[in-house]
Amino acid sequence: MAYQRGREQFRKFEVALDILTGFFSIFPRRFRQHLFEFFRDTNGKKGLAVRYALLKTLAKKCGTNVSVYPGVYIFHPGNLTVGDNVSIHPMCYFECGQDESQGLTIGDDVSIAHGVTLMTTTHLYSDPTKPIKDQGIEEKRIVIVNCSWIGAKATILCGKTVGKGCIVGANSVVTHSLEAMGIYAGAPAHKIGDRSQ
């Protein structure tokens, strides 16, 4: 039997998923958020379908064929924009922030491996006389541009852009914006190659 990519499988169920999305959209937002959390660890196609349909109703924008695998935590999904053909693998942690002008943007054809952390917030710490926890937080947008691959357990910090077609190696920590088509690894992440050559 020939291997089918996720997008081919998605097309088979697209109408049913649209119906399920419409059904969920009639409920209050807070209830839909609770459902999204309730089905966080549900395995198989049922879990993928329910999380996708709910995310369509919760996110600022959610494209087609978005796979959210079990164990993914997405906080403040109202500030999340996701393109088409995106896979978010198990145990990821996304903090999308509460500032509507910031948030998290993921482009088309992006693969996010398991255990990735995306943090649009950071603690303020400029006053040495006050505990850090009492100094508030700052929010800055994260943008992951089309056709990028974020490796397992990588962390991307607030205010950073991952350029088109980038590869971010496993366990990397992105502390500055990354150029398109670059290959990055390390903590902090640094360029180790170029996909355009």
CATH code of the domain containing 116: 2.160.10.10
Assigned domain for 4 exists: no
Taking only the tens place, the pLDDT of each residue in 100-156 is 888 999 999 999 999 999 999 999 999 999 999 999 889 999 999 999 999 999 999
Assigned domain for 66 exists: yes
Strand arrangement of the beta sheet that strand 111-112 belongs to: 66-68, 86-88, 111-112, 149-150, 167-168, 182-185, 190-194
Domain count, the chain: 1
| Nearest CA-CA partner of 34 in 43, 48, 44, 24 | 24
Taking only the tens place, the pLDDT of each residue in 170-183 is 999 999 999 999 99
CA distance 177 to 154: 14
Assigned domain for 103 exists: yes
Tokens of 114: 């398991």
Contacts of 14 (CB under 8 A, 6+ apart): 64
CA distance 161 to 175: 10
Tell me the whole-structure pTM to 2 decimals.
0.91
Assigned domain for 38 exists: no
Assigned domain for 182 exists: yes
What is the rounded average pLDDT of the residues 189-193? 96
Predicted local confidence at residue 175, as pLDDT = 96
| Cα angle value 42/48/49 (rounded, 5°) | 115
* Enclosing domain of residue 113: 59-194
- Using CB atoms within 10 A of its CB, is residue 72 exposed (0-12), middle (13-18) or buried (19+)? buried
What residues pair up with 62 in beta bridges, in sequence order?
82
Collapsing DSSP states into helix, strand and coil, what is residue 181?
Answer: coil
Per-residue confidence band for 6, with pLDDT thresholds at 50, 70 and 90? low
Assigned domain for 44 exists: no
| Nearest CA-CA partner of 88 in 73, 102, 104 | 73
Contacts of 174 (CB under 8 A, 6+ apart): 154, 155, 156, 157, 160, 162, 168, 184, 188, 189
Per-residue confidence band for 1, with pLDDT thresholds at 50, 70 and 90? very low
Strand arrangement of the beta sheet that strand 155-156 belongs to: 73-75, 93-95, 117-119, 155-156, 173-174
Collapsing DSSP states into helix, strand and coil, what is residue 77?
Answer: helix
Taking only the tens place, the pLDDT of each residue in 10-57 is 777 788 889 999 999 999 999 999 999 999 999 999 999 999 999 999
Assigned domain for 7 exists: no
CA distance 182 to 8: 29
